[in-house]
Structures are given as C-alpha cells and as structure tokens.
C-alpha cells in the first residue's frame, strides 16, 4: 500500500518517490476472499472495505521496485496472492522469491540470518537505491 500511495496527495511537501522499494512478505494483497472465511467475524469486511484495503485495487503511478516473498511451506493461497500482486503491478513486482523450508510463521526468521534469502534480498534492494 505504501508503494502505491501518491504521497504528495496526502502532504504536499512529501516527494512522490518517498517509498523507493518494497519487500512484500507472505502478504494478502486481495482481501475479498477473507470475506468468506470465519475470520471475517472479527474483521467485519464488507465488499467496499475489502476493496479499499486490498493493494491489488491500487496501481502505483511509478515503477517502485517490489520483491514478493513467500515461504515454500505456505498454503496455495499465499502463493496465489503473491502471483496476483505481480499480475496487478507488472511495472513494479520483480520475480517472486520462494523461501525454502519456511512457512507463514517462520519466514521472517530469514531476516535474522545474514546469509538468509530475505536478508540478502533486502541488502540488494538497499544497494540499488539512489
């Protein structure tokens, strides 16, 4: 959502390129399917709320480099969501990363390891910044 935001619309003094890059990890980018789950009793998503909160309904106005990551042990839905963001933001999303042996709850462990896939990806994104 931060990559898709037109920042000067919210605060005229902010640069349009405030977000230089993004690493999207195990995300839910289309909230519409959550309306059909038991979690919606707590979320309370109606159609409009799900659309407004879904990154796939927004299109970044500039090609912000976005890397998506999903754990190899995650459900098909998390992998589908990862590919969906790539389809909706083709000018931004790079090749998705599948992190071996990790799931939705353990994938962030890859940040704690200097040789971890996510740690190295974040380094690569930072190194490419102007």
Domain boundaries, the chain: 7-127
**Domain 7-127 CATH superfamily:** Alpha/Beta hydrolase fold, catalytic domain (3.40.50.1820)
State the sign of the Cα–Cα–Cα–Cα dihedral 21, 51, 48, 8.
positive
Residue 130 pLDDT class (50, 70, 90 cuts): confident
Residue 75: partners with Cβ closer than 8 Å, 6 or more residues away: 104
Token representation of residue 18 = 């405030």
Look at residue 108 in the predicted model and tell me its pLDDT: 93
Q: Mind listing the pLDDT tens digit for each residue in 29-82? A: 999 999 999 999 999 999 999 999 999 999 999 999 999 999 999 999 999 999
Look at residue 75 in the predicted model and tell me its pLDDT: 95
């Amino acid at each position: 959502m931060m990559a898709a935001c037109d920042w000067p619309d919210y605060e005229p003094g902010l640069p349009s390129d405030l977000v230089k890059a993004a690493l999207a990890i195990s995300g839910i980018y289309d909230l519409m399917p959550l309306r059909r789950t038991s979690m919606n009793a707590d979320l309370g998503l109606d159609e409009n709320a799900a659309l407004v909160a879904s990154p796939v309904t927004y299109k970044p106005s500039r090609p912000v480099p976005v890397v998506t990551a999903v754990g190899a042990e995650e459900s098909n839905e998390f992998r589908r969501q990862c590919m969906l963001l790539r389809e909706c933001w083709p000018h931004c999303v790079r090749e998705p990363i599948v992190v071996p042996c990790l799931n939705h709850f353990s994938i962030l462990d890859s940040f704690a390891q200097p040789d971890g896939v996510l740690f190295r990806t974040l380094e690569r994104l930072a190194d490419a910044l102007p």
